[in-house]
């Protein structure tokens, strides 16, 4: 089954129904935290790319809290694009027309096979001209961190090292899922970076 077809209405009912891992309130808290840290570090965010935009919680928060920020949401799911108004795109083959101050890649890469995931990481790196928020479950998260009753466990399990080795060429890991493009010259204290 092509990746986009997997994320149909049944998938959204199953993982975004009564007891989702992420809901509108949790994403609002996360978004506020990311934007607050960016302000603390004096990194302006004028544009956002939301990869695997799903139900559009980041878009909704931006519309209320940061209406001047330019937003683009992409998703491989035909269902999500029709229902929530995103641009249809496969991250492994999509080419960004320009760069973004913030790229959100939340719960996407684990669904892609190794070669496609590596290509997608390159795409994310090209699209990011500032901060990247990355959330992807790893082998280390599988036992004890992830709630299998609320999470899709049928994914490609990789180590954190696998992801870090690919992102480190283009970005500096700051922690808590945040990465900074190496193209951005922001001075950080040594202990502010991983």
Domain ranges of the chain: 3-192
Q: How far is Cα 81 from Cα 182, in angstroms, rounded to an integer? A: 31
pLDDT band at 18 (very low <50, low <70, confident <90, very high): confident
Q: How far is Cα 145 from Cα 143, in angstroms, rounded to an integer? A: 6
Q: Is the pLDDT of residue 5 over 80?
A: no
pTM: 0.92
Q: Is the pLDDT of residue 2 over 50?
A: no
Average confidence (pLDDT) over 131-140? 96
Q: Is the pLDDT of residue 3 over 70?
A: no
Which pLDDT does position 153 carry in this prediction?
A: 81
Which pLDDT does position 20 carry in this prediction?
A: 65
Write the CB contacts of 101 (distance below 8 Å, at least 6 apart in sequence). Answer: 43, 44, 45, 46, 47, 48, 129, 130, 131
Report the percent of the chain where pLDDT is more than 70. 92
Which pLDDT does position 8 carry in this prediction?
A: 62
| Domain 3-192, CATH | 3.40.50.150
Question: Which two three-digit tokens encode residue 13?
Answer: 């009912």
Specify the 3-state DSSP secondary structure of 4: helix
Which pLDDT does position 184 carry in this prediction?
A: 92
CA distances from 149 to 52, 92, 114, 183, 193 (A): 21, 28, 25, 40, 34
Which pLDDT does position 14 carry in this prediction?
A: 64
Q: How far is Cα 169 from Cα 38, in angstroms, rounded to an integer? A: 21
Q: What is the mean pLDDT of the chain?
A: 91
Contact predicate 173/167, CB 8 Å: yes
Q: How far is Cα 84 from Cα 53, in angstroms, rounded to an integer? A: 9
Q: What is the pLDDT of residues 40-74, one digit of tens each?
A: 999 999 999 999 999 999 999 999 999 999 999 99
Q: How many CB atoms lie within 10 A of CB 134?
A: 23
Q: Is the pLDDT of residue 37 over 50?
A: yes
Report the percent of the chain where pLDDT is more than 90. 75
* Paired residues of 150 in beta bridges: none
Question: Which two three-digit tokens encode residue 35?
Answer: 């934007």
Which pLDDT does position 15 carry in this prediction?
A: 63
Question: Which two three-digit tokens encode residue 150?
Answer: 């609320």
């Amino acid at each position: 089954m092509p990746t986009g077809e997997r994320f149909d209405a049944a998938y959204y009912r199953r993982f975004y129904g009564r007891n989702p891992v992420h809901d509108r309130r949790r994403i609002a808290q996360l978004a506020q935290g990311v934007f607050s840290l960016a302000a603390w570090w004096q990194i302006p965010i004028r544009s956002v790319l939301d990869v695997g935009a799903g139900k559009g919680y980041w878009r909704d928060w931006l519309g209320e809290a940061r209406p001047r920020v330019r937003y683009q949401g992409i998703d491989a799911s035909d269902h999500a694009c029709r229902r929530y108004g995103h641009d249809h795109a496969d991250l492994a083959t999509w080419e960004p027309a320009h760069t973004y101050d913030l790229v959100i890649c939340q719960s996407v890469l684990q669904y892609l096979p190794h070669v496609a995931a590596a290509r997608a990481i390159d795409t994310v790196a090209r699209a990011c001209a500032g901060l990247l928020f990355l959330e992807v479950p790893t082998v280390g998260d599988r036992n004890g961190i992830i709630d299998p009753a609320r999470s899709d466990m049928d994914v490609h399990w990789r180590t954190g090292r696998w992801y870090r080795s690919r992102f480190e060429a283009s970005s500096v890991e700051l922690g808590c899922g945040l990465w900074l493009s190496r193209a951005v010259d922001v001075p950080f204290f040594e202990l502010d970076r991983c």
